[in-house]
Amino acid sequence: MPSTEPEHDLSTIAGAQAYLSSTPFASTSLTLLSGIHSNFTYRLYLVTPYKGQSTLVMKHAKPHIVLSATEILYAMERQTFEAKALQKIREGLDCEPRAATVPEMHHFDAEAHVIILEDCGEQSRNLKELFLTAPPPPAIAHEIGLALGQFLGRLHAWGAADPAILDVFAGNEQAKRITSWITYERLIPTLTTDNVPAVALLPAPIPETDLAAIRALVAERIPEIYAARAALTMGDFWTGNVVVRLDGADGAVTPRVHVIDWELVKPGIPALDVGQFCAEMHTLTLFRPQTAASAGALIDAFLTAYRAHCGSLAPHTANVATKHMGAHLVVITPSVGWGTPEENVKAIELGLTYMREGGSDQWVRESSVFGSLM
């Protein structure tokens, strides 16, 4: 078993390498892939290949997530739920070879809060980075969208058909808390009291009728997040949690796609997974117009494949996804560095429109990205 001595600070490369030194995952070097206050992820260059792989990925979780100046979540159960998701999805989710999947989990150390995972490949990048640095042509984007839509559709259908799977993840209360807070609890403050620069730059005040409707949306959605058992949801289905490697030979390119970071997995509202992903993809078209053709092709393929594989589409899925995309554009997009306050105005205006019109079947069908779900 890996050592869990206190001197091994797994938030550092040296500490992580020392932790691994007496394990089958001992490494000549490590590269930090991502590191924030709550999670640290490394690529391991192994001394000895493991199951034929010369590189693996190590994820270390810290026991705190800061929600606000007054609320910090300390529970480490989130990584236990992630490990369960990786194991059960690999065992139980029936996906075709072209579909996305989750990386194989090789080791879980609950004491040191470490997961060792299959590496999608040294040349892999998350989907957001891929589109920002080397956007794939529309044909390849279409293939990625099909892979992701099939995967998410089958995930939702699998959970909806098997209450025992939902029971495994029903206790992930921290995931419910984060999902409620990250978008809906911050929605009205973003538009009223948080002094968001882009909100102040809107060409006209937000009508009170719109704010009242948004308050009603918040009051409806938060209890649903805590109570929902419609399906097994990923909970954080966005472009940063999709890792892609483009393998090519003889002029043909085949995407290999992994869906990572399952700490927020839970029984939930399927449309929130769909809406979050489409919001992030559509944001590319708002701030990086050169990606519009490829991003649009990916969204269309994703929704087509999702509808084909999700089983019985829940009533109003497209409407809920539309409103969730709107909330995401208002709360998340201006806060994560996409553009200047002046540029962020367009995201907030579009988000307000999606929330205002999301209840109209005709508008969703004719004017939103979710028309194919109607």
Angle at 103 between CA 272 and CA 132, to 5 degrees: 60
Please spell the DSSP secondary structure of 207-261, one letter per residue. PHHHHHHHHHHHHHHHHHHHH--SEEE-S--SGGGEEEEEEEETTEEEEEEEE--
- Residue ranges per domain, the chain? 1-120, 123-374
Say which residue the tokens 């091994």 belong to: 8
In CATH, what number does 1-120 get?
A: 3.30.200.20
pLDDT digits (tens, 9 = 90+) for 292-310: 999 999 999 999 999 999 9
Neighbour-count burial of 96, counting CB atoms closer than 10 A to its CB (0-12 exposed, 13-18 middle, 19+ buried): exposed
Write the DSSP symbol of residue 137.
P
3-state secondary structure 12-58: CHHHHHHHHCCCCCCEEEEEEEEECCCEEEEEEEEEEEECCEEEEEE
Q: Are 57 and 117 in contact (CB under 8 A)?
A: yes
Question: What is the structure's pLDDT at 3?
Answer: 45
Residue 38: the pLDDT is 78
Mean pLDDT of 70-92: 83
- Give the pLDDT confidence of 212-262 residue by residue, as tens digits: 999 999 999 999 999 999 999 999 999 999 999 998 755 567 899 999 999
For strands 39-50 and 27-35, give the pairing: antiparallel
CATH architecture of 123-374: Alpha-Beta Complex (3.90)
Domains 1-120 and 123-374 equal at CATH topology level = no
Does residue 57 carry a pLDDT above 70? Answer: yes
Under the banding of pLDDT at 50, 70 and 90, the label for residue 6 is very low
Cβ burial of 86 (10 Å; 0-12, 13-18, 19+) is buried
Q: How confident is residue 28, by pLDDT bands cut at 50, 70 and 90?
A: very high
Q: Are 319 and 357 in contact (CB under 8 A)?
A: no
Evaluate if residue 43 carries a pLDDT over 50: yes
Identify the top-confidence range among 31-40, 205-214, 245-254.
Answer: 205-214
- Is the Cβ–Cβ distance between 310 and 157 less than 8 Å? yes
Q: Which of 116, 352, 147 is nearest to 254 (CA)?
A: 147
Q: Which amino acid is at 163?
A: P
DSSP category for residue 1: -
For residue 4, pLDDT beyond 60? no
pLDDT single digits (tens) 323-336: 999 999 999 999 99
Amino acid 1: pLDDT: 47
Q: For 99-138, how does the pLDDT look when each residue is reduced to its tens digit (9 = 90+)?
A: 899 999 999 999 999 999 999 999 999 999 999 999 999 9
Give the CA diameter of the chain: 64
Instruction: Compute the average pLDDT of residues 91-99.
Output: 80
Note the pLDDT tens digit of each residue in 146-200.
999 999 999 999 999 999 999 999 999 999 999 999 999 999 999 999 999 999 9
Residue 6 and residue 16 in contact, taking contact as beta carbons nearer than 8 Å: no
Q: What is the pLDDT of residue 63?
A: 75
